Amino acid sequence: MFDLFEKAGHSLFLVGGSVRDRMLGLAPGDLDYATDALPGDVADILSETGIKIIPTGLAFGTVTAIDPRTHEKAEITTFRSSEIYRRGSRHPRVQFGKSIEDDLLRRDFTINAMAIDSRGELIDPCGGLNDIHRGIIDTPGDPDSAFTDDPLRILRAYRFAAKLGFTIAERVRKSARNYSLELSTISVERKYKELTGILSADDGRRSADALSLMKQDGVLMRVLPELENLFVIDGLKQGKYHCSDAWQHTLEVVAQVPPIAVLRWAALLHDSAKGLVRTVDAEGEPHFYGHEIEGEKIAYSVSERLHFSRADRRALGVLVRNHMAPVQYRPEWGNSAVKKLMRNASDQLSNLFLLAEADTKAHAPAFLKQSLDSLTELIGRTRMLDTGRIIPPEIGQNLTAMGFEGPVIGRVISMLEDMAADGILPENPTVDQCFTALWDRQSKLLNKDSRNSD
């Protein structure tokens, strides 16, 4: 790539995250380059070599290049001296620069303000390598100016802290506190991406630590005001099964679940309605009845506002609404009750169990072993039932032919599934066996009603 631009009389530099990750010894992702060539010239240089180009960012100085042999992707951007985002826009207003130094000085953080030239020499005018060695997130210049140019950099500071385990410089945190209100000007798509990045750090403990800092700095409420109903009960006890308040418990659950984006979101929001429903009984014991139902509404509000995908919106709602079910499991549950839990969780069953395990581990140690043993038993029963009996599809056709409509047919099939789960029906029952079982159940109910009336 360097040779192509040098032959055309232009300079090219590897920049940004590509350099940072190389200095950290991390596997590189997509490559980012900066050049003195204007966007049209970049497109011409690449096109002549057979490299596929995607010109969607051309107006902002960026050309995406894809090597047809290796499918390696790279972004080549003309030097910038400034980059300012208009209110609510995903696209910056760009002014091109004249040198690599100009380009690096306007970048968000010193660890991203390094470049490597065609000879492999490091260009580091802002001390980024030193900050990597110190584990510090800092801005090349005044953080107030950096956050004024693009307030999203506030969230990016916490994301890099979560991703790398670095400390955010105090002057950067101070500026984040002062300019957090400006986050309201950022498009929801950009906020969603950064928040998901914070939540998706490989080490969940780092995600939890970043969220804790964001709350302390007044940033978290700016981007997730729906958490107010969790924060209003800060410091209040949750009852004998807990050893911390609701927010500290939430952070512990976030730290415990695997780095699956929708699962980390569910961990963050699973108790978000506790402040809405908290009651205290005569003995002074707090209760949170129905918080999972109200929590689902809050999760829906968050996912709608931040434009989650339809699939993630649904998954988040399923996880938050059902997060209590595995915790409430008891060995005396019938198979039909277990099967109902499986139906409610649908394709999120495995994620629900991961959430329940993390939720359990974040409870008081005295209840830990018994609760984990109970969860293990429940998981075993769902696996056994998952390989079990199938209701023949002809049932629905027969019921339709008999004049029954959709809702009734659904209830009948659900009843048959419960009977199959409880062993009343044989494995893979026939249509006749299903109808016989339904008739027997109806007869028993009629006989019971008759005896009660006597």
Tell me the pLDDT tens digit for each residue of 176-193.
999 999 999 999 999 999
Give me 102's structure tokens: 């100009």
Closest listed residue to residue 343, CA positions, set 290, 404, 399, 416? 416
Tell me if the domain spanning 1-134 has CATH number 3.30.460.10: yes
Q: How far apart are CA 302 and CA 313, in angstroms?
A: 9
Does the structure show a pLDDT above 80 at 153? yes
Q: What is the pLDDT of residues 260-295, one digit of tens each?
A: 999 999 999 999 999 999 999 998 899 999 999 999
Q: How large is the average pLDDT for residues 136-153?
A: 95
Q: Which residues contact 59 (CB under 8 A, 6 or more apart)?
A: 91
Is the pLDDT at 454 greater than 70, yes or no? no
pLDDT of residue 244: 84
CATH code of the domain occupying 139-223: 1.10.110.30
**For residue 248, pLDDT beyond 90:** yes
Q: Report the distance separating Cα 374 and Cα 377, nearest Å.
A: 5
Alpha carbon distance 120, 116 (integer Å): 6
Q: Determine the pLDDT at residue 93.
A: 67
Predicted local distance difference test score (pLDDT) of residue 450: 55
CB 320 within 8 A of CB 269: yes
**Token pair for 257:** 């679940």
Round to whole Å and give the CA distance between 153 and 160: 10
Listed range (246-260, 288-302, 400-414) with the worst mean pLDDT: 400-414
> Rounded to two decimals, what is the model's pTM?
0.82
End-to-end Cα spacing for the chain: 92
Q: Which of 19-28, 88-97, 246-255, 418-427 has the lowest mean pLDDT?
A: 88-97
The pLDDT value given to residue 176: 97
Among candidate residues 327, 371, 321, the one with its CA nearest the CA of residue 346: 321
**CB–CB of 274/229 below 8 Å?**
yes
3-state helix, strand, coil in the chain (%, to 5): 60, 10, 30
- Residue 395's Cβ-side half-sphere holds a number of Cα atoms within 13 Å equal to 26
Q: Which of 277, 216, 217 is nearest to 247 (CA)?
A: 216
Please report the pLDDT score of residue 206 as a whole number: 98
Reduced to 3 states (helix: H, G, I; strand: E, B; else coil), residue 91 is coil
Which numeric CATH code is attached to 225-387? 1.10.3210
In which band, very low, low, confident or very high, does the pLDDT at 428 lie, cut at 50, 70 and 90?
A: confident
pLDDT reported for residue 453: 54
Give the Cα separation of 228 and 232 in Å (integer). Answer: 6
Better pLDDT: 363 or 360: 360
At 41-54, the pLDDT tens digits run 888 888 878 788 88
pLDDT in tens, 77-135: 999 866 656 565 555 666 787 899 999 999 999 999 999 999 999 999 999 999 999 99
Q: Which helix (H) or strand (E) holds 12?
A: strand 12-15
Determine the pLDDT at residue 414.
77
pLDDT band, very low/low/confident/very high, at 425 (cuts 50, 70, 90): confident
SS3 130: helix
User: Where are the domain boundaries for CATH 1.10.3210 in the chain?
Assistant: 225-387
Which tokens in the block code for residue 165?
Answer: 């385990």
**Start-end ranges of CATH 1.10.110.30 in the chain?**
139-223
